[in-house]
């Protein structure tokens, strides 16, 4: 079994989205069953749960994009000549 990704890494976000997607699949099956048996109250509830999982995935994906953009900005800024975090080539 794979080690879980460290919190705050891009893979952690992806793993979390995948885990929620599995739950979404379960809700899809429940929706089909409620349609088949005519349980409208259960159908309404299952659809609301499915929508909630999609919104959660959307939020996590937005966080992932934001984190990657900040990381890219930091790399761009730090890679500029004269940046205090980078030493000149061959320098001390």
**61-73: pLDDT as tens digits:** 999 999 998 888 8
Give the model's pLDDT for residue 47: 97
Give the model's pLDDT for residue 74: 77
User: What are the DSSP calls for 18-34, one per residue?
Assistant: HHHHHHHHHHHHHHHHH
Q: Is the pTM of this model over 0.85?
A: no
More confident residue, 2 or 38: 38
Checking if the pLDDT of 49 tops 50, the result is yes
Average pLDDT score, the chain: 85
Q: Which helix (H) or strand (E) holds 44?
A: helix 40-78
Q: Phi, psi (5° rounding) for residue 36?
A: -65, -35
């Amino acid at each position: 079994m794979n080690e879980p990704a460290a919190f705050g890494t891009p893979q952690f976000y992806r793993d979390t989205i995948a885990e929620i997607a599995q739950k979404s699949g379960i809700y899809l099956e429940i929706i089909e069953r409620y349609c088949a048996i005519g349980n409208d109250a259960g159908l309404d509830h299952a659809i609301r749960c499915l929508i909630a999982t999609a919104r959660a995935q959307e939020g996590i994906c937005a966080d992932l994009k934001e984190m990657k953009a900040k990381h890219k900005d930091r790399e761009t800024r730090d890679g500029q000549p004269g940046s205090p975090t980078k030493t000149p080539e061959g320098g001390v």
